[in-house]
Structure 1
Amino acid sequence: MEKPVIILGAKGIAHPALEIFNSNQVIVYGFLDEDENLHGSEINTVPVLGHTEDDGFLKLIGKKTEAFVAVDDNKYRKFLVELLNDRRKVQPINAIHHTAYISTDAQIGHGNFINAKVTLGAGVEMGQHCILHTCAIVDHKAKIGDFVQIGAGSIINSEVVIEEGAFIGSGVTVVSGVTIGKNSRIGAGSVVISSVGANETVFGNPAAKVK
């Protein structure tokens, strides 16, 4: 990658996103964040330049820089993705740690955060703007929708389907063939042995619906 990167967001996954780009010898030009209290501060010597909607900085994206959206909250993440699509006619790039393993025939979209030692197995299909934390494993032929978050150390077994907006906590195991519905939430450490409906929250071993 020849162009430097502007990271939208300066909290949450922004710091590890910086480390990911550093791990790939990609220059980060700076951060943008809606929190004015952060403006002028630095993360590992990289400055927080201004607001995420500041056209003075946004106009650089697509011409002189690339962009990555480092925001955990899906609603605001979607807003920023649409902002880049509409104002700059660009898609955020992927942030993939150099120690991640991605199978040669895995398919991944734009704007994904893939941290250290993540594994994507053969035939995995992953959408856009997902967040995969350290050491997450997605086994062969699993399908991951857009805006999915998978916690550190979670194991998504073969042929699992995770639909758009689902949140998988840290240390979760999802057994083969299960479907995790749209915008559902799986509590940390859970073992999911049966499919989870849209908008449901489950927790435990075996995971059960939380009322």
Structure 2
Amino acid sequence: MCKDLIEKINERDLILYDDPIFSDINKVLEKTLKLTSKLNLGYKKPEEIREILKEITGREISNSVQVLTPFNTDFGANIKIGEGVFINKGCMIVDLGGVEIEDNVLIGPSVNLLSVNHPTDIKNRRGVILKKVRIKKNAWIGASVTVCPGVTIGENSIIGAGSVVTKDVKDNSVYAGVPARFIKNI
């Protein structure tokens, strides 16, 4: 069911609140809530963390991936994590719209990766706008960064601590601030 559901979700840009697909989404949300509670309860060895993440995402998690808890996600099944990724404590991934973390990415503590927004129209505000987030190879996301829906962080780039990234980041560059802006090339 989950692969078919993700395909249906990934074909859309918007899901309205009364759409019947939310019934299936909510089933995955409930499963993920149970698994993230299990993940974040007490100490877990790295291999235990990866095994629970495999259950959450429905994908293999490489032995080269290190995730420190607490770690949270709402949907979970639309996250892709590459090789050699490090995710520090307190990361929150809102992934209904899709979040892809490529190889050798470093994610600092308390980072938020958000692939969902809401319509501004009051009557449809409970719906969700879906926009994939992509963190390309070797990127480094500093502490307490928020990456907004639809943003791609370029290969080898660095995002300064506390930034809010609202637009795509070029490869091989440093961005920082609120909203994040170009600082320099690497």
- TM-score, structure 1 as length reference: 0.52
- 1:178-197 aligned at under 5 Å gives the runs 178-197=151-170
Report the AA paired with residue 166 of structure 1. Answer: A
Report the AA paired with residue 167 of structure 1. Answer: W
> Does residue 201 of structure 1 match 2:158?
no
Report the AA paired with residue 154 of structure 1. Answer: V
CA RMSD of aligned residues (A): 2.8
Which has more helix, going by share of residues? Answer: 2
- 1:109-148 aligned at under 5 Å gives the runs 109-120=62-73, 121-140=76-95, 141-148=98-105
Q: Distance in 1 between matches of 2:183 and 2:55?
A: 34
Q: Distance in 2 between matches of 1:182 and 1:145?
A: 9
Report the AA paired with residue 166 of structure 2. Answer: I
Measured at CA, do residues 143 and 100 of structure 1 come closer, stay the same or move farther in structure 2, by a change above 3 Å?
closer
Q: Distance in 2 between matches of 1:173 and 1:179?
A: 12
Q: Distance in 2 between matches of 1:206 and 1:96?
A: 33
**How many angstroms does 1:123 deviate by?**
1.3
Identity over the aligned pairs, expressed in percent?
33
Q: Distance in 2 between matches of 1:106 and 1:175?
A: 24
**How many angstroms does 1:99 deviate by?**
9.3
Report the AA paired with residue 127 of structure 1. Answer: G
Q: Distance in 2 between matches of 1:181 and 1:192?
A: 12
**How many angstroms does 1:103 deviate by?**
2.0
Q: Which runs of 5+ in 1 are unaligned?
A: 1-21, 27-92
| CA offset digits 1:127-166 (Å, max 9, x no partner) | 0111100011122120000100111111011220000000
8 Å contact kept, 1:100–1:118: no
Measured at CA, do residues 95 and 163 of structure 1 come closer, stay the same or move farther in structure 2, by a change above 3 Å?
farther
Measured at CA, do residues 96 and 163 of structure 1 come closer, stay the same or move farther in structure 2, by a change above 3 Å?
same
**How many angstroms does 1:117 deviate by?**
1.2
Report the AA paired with residue 200 of structure 1. Answer: S
Q: Distance in 2 between matches of 1:95 and 1:163?
A: 26
Aligned length: 124
Question: What's 1:168 paired with?
Answer: 141
8 Å contact kept, 1:167–1:184: yes
Task: Please tell me whether Structure 1 or Structure 2 has the larger radius of gyration of its CA atoms.
Answer: 1
